[in-house]
Amino acid sequence: MTASRVVLFAKRPTGAPTADCFEMREVELPPPAKGEVQVRNLWMSVDPYMRGRMFDLGPSYASAFKLGEPLSGRAVGQVVASKSAGFQEGDFVFSDLGWREAFNADPEVHPLRKLNLRGLPPEAFLGVAGITGLTAWVGLLKLTGLRAGETVLVTAAAGAVGSVACQIAKLKGCKVIGSAGGPTKTQALLEQLGVDAAVDYQAHSGRLTEAFQHAAPDGIDVCLENVGGEHLEAAINVARRYARFALCGMISQYNRISEPYPVRNLIMICGKELRIDGYLVGSYEDCLDEFLDEVCQWYNNGSIRSVETKFLGLEEAPAAFMGLFSGENLGKAVVGLA
């Protein structure tokens, strides 16, 4: 028997999630049965979409978490014992069985993807080469059709998606404006991600339009937006004619229990002939191989980096998740489990 700890969904949050929404339990795993593999997780991901799965009612991003059951989410692990023909001990695997240290699973029943690291560290496949990287790549390259010389605004630019988006836009020859909360993060945008201008939205609350205008006096051509509310409104205000927006989230709105922020300038969508594409990265999984080829090449030739906030130990996973909403993490938040 193998000991593994697992985090259960203990209480539905009202507003921002709190520590008492999570409960750690220790379980014993039997050796894998015929057809199964046993995987020890190396890294797990915490992501904003998980907040949506904590609601009881209404359509959300994915099926709802059940109270008293283990949470789940993306993880990278390594096979420690295999009774499945397709997997060998030592194989790296990608699964949606995060929030636990180890698990047994039958790959015929539960999707496990074998991972070719191609020289990248395993945790990169939860960030720059993972779903958040894919989100940035799809939004900019498949939806907005980014062109060299354009001005690109990335909101939540120090976040998991934004930190990759800034780098892709720079790689493609664009001028990049990034917004983030606080001087530490805006400094990181300038120093670690090479953006051309950084806007500290905390210092410009209620005056974001002016701050964006100052950073992009000729307006923006493209916006990768995942904050919503005042950020979206200000981005529309500074959009040039025919600007394209890719919206992959609205993190400022997820925890709101009262009225959402009322965006009041939508008439500009007509007058400026804007295109706004909302998307969920799950609809673009057929792009994964193309994305991985490109991003691994960029990573290995040094033209893109992985920006991560690392938490160590499963007991830190709730704090890592809560940090997504308090804006404390820089880049992708990952939790080391081994």
Interface residue list for a second copy (CB under 8 A): 52, 59-61, 228, 232, 247-250, 253, 259-280, 283
Q: How far is the CB of 270 from a second copy (least distance, A)?
A: 4
- Between residues 86 and 278, which has the closer beta carbon with respect to a second copy? 278
Choice between 55 and 92, CB closer to a second copy: 55
Cβ-based nearer residue to a second copy, 111 or 282? 282
193 neighbors 264 (Cβ within 8 angstroms): no
DSSP 197-261: EEEEGGGGTT-HHHHHHHH-TT-EEEEEE-S-THHHHHHHHTEEEEEEEEE---HHHHT--SPPP
Report how far residue 334's alpha carbon sits from residue 117's, in angstroms, rounded to the nearest whole number: 17
- Cβ of residue 247: shortest distance to a second copy, in angstroms? 5
The least distance separating a second copy from the CB of residue 245, rounded to whole angstroms, comes to 9
Of 85 and 267, CB closest to a second copy: 267
User: 294-330: string of b/e by CB count within 10 Å (b at 16+)?
Assistant: bbbebbeeeebbbbbbebeebebbbbbbbbbbebbbb
| Closest approach of a second copy to the CB of residue 280, in Å | 6
Q: Tell the smallest beta-carbon distance from residue 44 to a second copy (Å).
A: 24
In the complex with a second copy, which residue's Cβ is closer, 102 or 220? Answer: 220
Shorter beta-carbon distance to a second copy: residue 10 or 263: 263
Q: Rounded to an integer, what distance in angstroms lies between the CA atom of residue 338 and that of residue 331?
A: 21
- Residue where the block lists tokens 């605004």: 153
160 vs 247, beta carbon nearer a second copy: 247
129 Cβ partners below 8 Å, 6+ apart? 120, 292, 295, 296, 299, 306
Burial class (CB in 10 A: 0-12, 13-18, 19+), 289: exposed
The partner residues of 78 in beta bridges, in order of sequence, read 40, 92
Whichever of 25 and 275 has its CB closer to a second copy, that residue is 275
Asked whether the beta carbons of 140 and 168 are under 8 A apart, the reply is yes
Instruction: Supply the DSSP symbol for 143.
Output: I
| Closest CA relative to residue 26, chosen from 1, 51, 47 | 1
Query: Smallest distance, Å, CB 282 to a second copy?
Result: 9
Closest distance of CB 142 from a second copy, Å: 13
The pair phi, psi for residue 231, each rounded to 5°, is: -65, -45
Q: How far is the CB of 231 from a second copy (least distance, A)?
A: 11
Q: What is the C-alpha separation between 102 and 329, in angstroms, rounded?
A: 25
